[in-house]
Chain A
């Protein structure tokens, strides 16, 4: 009986529904293409650098074989592999965090840092680097700057303090706009404290702090990876679990609640996941900008949907690709020069986003919030 009711509809609407399913099929293909692109970018980032290593050799090394030169093995396994993994994870983390924030705040300009996480991390780092006494001088002398676990620890602590504050607030406040404003205010406050620290600090310490703010994927050693990678994977896992409520939030909190979403709990979940992602990246790589705001827009533009079932995995994949490529460019292949990562991401990325958004009629339409 049910069948008979549906049939006439299927006949009448075959074209339109087929269209829907065709687009779904296309999306799956595009996701596969992105995955392939990520693999390609990953291998490329292992092969290209101050020394170029043939792709075949890379595969040999990765599969546990003997490379034709021993130095290549060292370069790939000890330097490029952790760096590429860091870039991949950080890129995915920032993009997914950005997508979540844009939906939660229904704002195209939201990024993973709107909650003030990176400001907290900045303050932590600024305190450690610029505080007088031995700590600072040890850092300066050590100059294994980004590898220094103390920096990551300070940033983590700073991010965690802000995270805890935001989480407490997120469970209490009625309106998501309040949360947004509080995040901004956290940011301004910590920014002001950092300015004060910078103002009263020695030039060389300020330089160290500045270098940290440029961002780098090169700081995560194999020793730190067991902290960094699980933190990111946990945050990403959270985002994947939240796909269904995120879709409900596309309609706004009132509709979401009417569909049975426990908005406060879900909001706390989204904030926790994003804070973990942004906090871990900032702690280990510095405040890497632009990726988090741009990649979700690119994904909506490329895939033509705001459905989080597609958007979240696509953002993770494309975020990884963009981070790997940006790092590649920042290395200036074939030279010893290294550019600030944040400058590269913004300089290359901004025009791309502008192009995508202009093609898509308006920002309002493409952001999906």
Chain B
């Protein structure tokens, strides 16, 4: 779809072939407190992020996702253990060297005042320009490549304060890209966006990871999207150990379900979707096939029914017919033209 990026866009560092882009060793994260023992958020974290990979960090609120992101970005020191960035301990890197290897995108909406999007992206060249901040032709080329890579060409000349949230986030991703890092960390980059925009940003990040061979780590609350897009999930349960693996690995091992069960969200390994468990309402049989039957089952499950399929011996049956639903309950039959009415009926009879 897009032409391959020019070679200069790909981080060329011999260290890359030997080391993962970012890795941790027995890392403990948390906060040091004066005259009190440190507050440990999570310990013994052992993860690795490779070039070209998109990793999603998920977990319930308060599990320490932001703390981990901040520690990996060098914004707060680890309590114990190490963070390695291309084989070097974060603490050994100068701020400039660090900025050339790692860039960030934050959740908070930035107010930069009156600045064209192009100038904002150009700020990403900060670790490369001289003290005046003047852009060389190479810098300008890098800025343009970054803008093109996120598909924001038409936004370049517009003022940042005129952009929508989604457009602004693209520009901030372009800025992080213009920094030409090996690792990009994004803290809930899709938090303020609507669903289509979230999917678009996620797809964009996935493409960027592949095409530019960058290692991209993002934290998100969007479990569905993370399951579908990530090469690797880092799952952070509250007070537990961080588990890493392909999304499917975590489903099969039950780690995903375990992490969220405590939060009152159930994971359905059949559909790959999360659902909110409802008060149990009894057993109902759905008779019918195809898409209408699937969505009927979903509606009934949402009401808390245990659904069986195509069984005629249960006292409660729903027959799916073209354009209508027939309910058989205790020998009596009634007919509904929408699932909304059907559910309303069940609710009124009270389970």
Contacts and interface: CB of A to CB of B under 8 A. Distances in A.
A260 B99 contact: yes
B296 interface: no
A304 B114 contact: yes
A258 B103 contact: yes
A245 to B, nearest CB: 9
B130 to A, nearest CB: 9
Contact of B114 (A6, A257, A306): A306
Contact of B8 (A2, A255, A258, A261): A2
A254 B187 CA distance: 12
A120 interface: no
Contacts of B81: none
A17 interface: yes
Among A248, A304, A305, A307, the most chain B Cβ lie within 10 Å of the Cβ of A307
A302 to B, nearest CB: 11
A243 B133 contact: yes
Interface residues of B, number: 45
B157 A257 contact: no
Interface stretch (A8-16, A79-87, A209-217, A219-227): A8-16
A247 B133 contact: yes
Interface stretch (A47-55, A121-129, A359-367): A359-367
Contacts of A369: 111, 113
Contact of B126 (A1, A259, A307): A259
A99 to B, nearest CB: 11
A255 B133 contact: no
Contact of B6 (A1, A17, A252, A306): A1
B156 A20 contact: yes
A300 B114 CA distance: 8
B163 to A, nearest CB: 12
Interface string B225-269: 000000000000000000000000000000000000000000000
Interface stretch (B21-29, B141-149, B321-329): B141-149
A313 interface: no
A2 B144 CA distance: 12
B217 to A, nearest CB: 14
Given A257-B75, A259-B126, A252 B132 contact: no
Contacts of A2: 6, 8, 141
Nearest to B9: A5
In this complex, the member of A255, A307, A309, A366 whose beta carbon has the largest number of chain B beta carbons within 10 angstroms is A255
Interface centre among A106, A252, A365 (most CB of B within 10 A): A365
Contacts of A262: 95
Given A19-B157, A244-B126, A244-B133, A305 B114 contact: yes
A255 B156 contact: no
Contacts of A98: none
Contacts of A19: 157
A254 B75 contact: yes
A254 B106 contact: yes
Given A252-B108, A257-B95, A365 B75 contact: no
A307 B119 contact: yes
A306 B112 contact: yes
Nearest to B145: A5
A259 B101 CA distance: 10
Contacts of A309: 133
Contacts of A13: 144, 153-154, 156
A68 B237 CA distance: 89
Interface string B197-214: 000000000000000000
B110 interface: yes
B6 A254 contact: no
Q: Which of B6, B103, B126 has the most CB of A within 10 A?
A: B126
Interface string B148-161: 10000110110001
Contacts of A244: 126, 129, 131-133
Interface in A246-296: 247-248, 250-252, 254-255, 257-262
Given A243-B133, A244-B129, A259-B123, A9 B153 contact: yes
Contacts of B111: 106, 364-365, 369
A368 interface: yes
A339 interface: no
A365 B114 contact: yes
Contact of B110 (A243, A255, A307): A255
B98 interface: yes
B118 A306 contact: no
A368 B106 contact: no
Which of B8, B73, B133 has the most chain A CB atoms closer than 10 A to its own CB?
B133
Contacts of B95: 257, 260-262
Contacts of B132: 243-244
B96 to A, nearest CB: 4
Given A251-B123, A260-B95, A367 B113 contact: yes
B133 A368 contact: no
Contacts of B113: 250, 300, 306, 365-369
Nearest to A259: B126
Contacts of A20: 116, 118-119, 156-157
Interface in B171-229: 179
5 contacts: A16-B153, A258-B102, A261-B126, A304-B114, A305-B115
Interface of B: 3, 6-8, 73, 75, 94-96, 98-100, 102-104, 106, 108, 110-116, 118-120, 123-124, 126-127, 129, 131-133, 141, 144-145, 148, 153-154, 156-157, 161, 179
The 6 closest A-B pairs by CB, nearest first: A368-B113, A306-B113, A260-B99, A244-B133, A259-B126, A16-B157
Interface of A: 1-2, 5-6, 9, 12-13, 16-17, 19-20, 23, 106, 241, 243-244, 247-248, 250-252, 254-255, 257-262, 300, 304-307, 309, 364-369
